[in-house]
Amino acid sequence: MSTYQAPKGTFDLIPPKSATFLAVREAMSAVARRAGYGYVETPAFEDTALFKRGVGESSDIVTKEMYTFTTRGGDSLTLRPEGTASVVRAVLQHNLDKGALPVKLYYSGSYFRYERPQKGRYRHFSQVGAEALGSEDPLVDVEIIMLAAEAFRDLGLRQVRLLLNTLGDSECRPVYRAALQQFLRGLDLDEDTRARIDINPLRVLDDKRPEVRAQLTDAPVIADYLCDACKAYHEEVRSLLSIGGVAFEDDPRLVRGLDYYTRTTFEFVHDGLGAQSAIGGGGRYDGLSQELGGPPLPSVGWALGVDRTVLALEAEGVAVPGSGRGVDVFAVPLGEAARHLLFGLVQKLRRAGVSADFAFGGKGLKGAMKAADRSGARYAVVAGERDLSADVVQLKDLESGEQVPVPIDRLVSTIKEKLS
């Protein structure tokens, strides 16, 4: 065994479990594509200032969790801890905001945060995200939320809950902020938490420590301070979700972990995951473009956690369709002539869109059939000298055990018919 291992807080994705991760990513991406979202891919690292300005100086991500390094040229770069700031930067850099709005984009990739490793919370994790940029319309908020709900439903999850809140805007939030600050200053909080009261008191509401949460029971809630415009906007989002058949729970203390959110904010949770119950979430971020030096660009989006969604599937005992299957066909040659023939047939199957593998290394029949079983194949194609002299191969159904001879020149069409 190698003396090297994956860094603390990370893990390797290897077969067969990696197939589940791929299936989850694809299901999440598919709902976005069906709704007209185009794919965007940004660098794995960006200027550190982008995240400090976009994510927020007061967030745990910026103050404690970013992987930041200095290049040989003296530039400060950071491995991306989240996706939205990078997407907004890309939209502004390439002038996508000058075209038809909203700009609808989705992405999939790896993200990095220096956190205390535990189940469901890793230092290297995978997300799929979707962003609709350039529209201040409650219907866009609802579309985004419904796409995420559809992704979880397509995966077969049934125990996902949607939490919903609003964070107000630049008109009403300052009034709420002042009331919250006054309340928080009367609590027994540690020095670091007290520092947040002046910088961004909403961050205190997101504190997961029991000793802090116990003191927040009587904290003022944003719903009592909303301006008429924000109140009407939120009520329309709630109404449209209900019309669309999406169940949700109002959570007046939901703030999420990023500073850029305004108005609509939401989170999908799964109670089978314990403390790390969030499997995705997002919200509206109407001022982020301006924070990054761009024009007003009201936007909304989400990020869904692939790792935690896989844990949720395991908690419910749900098998993702297609995630556990191996190749369609496994070729088992008996003899040198059969090796050459079947290897050529494997190439024909692959070109015809059929996944196929081969018993390399001159294994005997017993060893080759064990390899076929381990591959997860549906069918095995077996051939020896006697079969070749009759211009046939043996096609074995590895589920039923049924085996039939098939003419060599009809093998590809026969397998395609059976698979269809």
Binding residues for L-histidine: 82-84, 113, 127, 131, 256, 260-261
Q: Could you give the CA distance from residue 379 to residue 349 in angstroms, rounded to a whole number?
A: 12
DSSP H/E element including 22: helix 17-34
Token pair, residue 248, equals 């949700």
Do 103 and 91 meet the contact criterion of CB atoms below 8 Å apart?
A: yes
Q: Could you give the CA distance from residue 114 to residue 197 in angstroms, rounded to a whole number?
A: 24
Residue type present at position 153: R
Hey, CA dihedral for 129, 147, 166, 228, is it positive or negative?
positive
Place of tokens 């043996």: 394
Q: Quick count: other Cβ atoms within 10 Å of Cβ 284?
A: 28
Work out whether strand 103-112 and strand 38-39 pair parallel, antiparallel, or are unpaired.
Answer: parallel
Place of tokens 């669309």: 244
Taking alpha carbons only, the member of 396, 278, 381 closest to residue 339 is 381
Taking alpha carbons only, the member of 76, 39, 88 closest to residue 258 is 88
Work out whether strand 379-383 and strand 278-284 pair parallel, antiparallel, or are unpaired.
Answer: unpaired
Q: Omega into 102 within 30° of 0, i.e. cis? A: yes
Token pair, residue 149, equals 């709900």
Do 329 and 378 meet the contact criterion of CB atoms below 8 Å apart?
A: yes
Angle among Cα 227, 181, 54 to the nearest 5 degrees reads 75
- Burial 362-397, CB ≥16 within 10 A → b, else e: eeeeeebbebbeebbbbbbbbbbeebbeeebbbbbe
* DSSP for 269-314, written as a single string: EEGGGTT--EEEEEEE-TTHHHHTT-----EEEEEEEHHHHHHHHH
Q: Could you give the CA distance from residue 337 to residue 388 in angstroms, rounded to a whole number?
A: 8
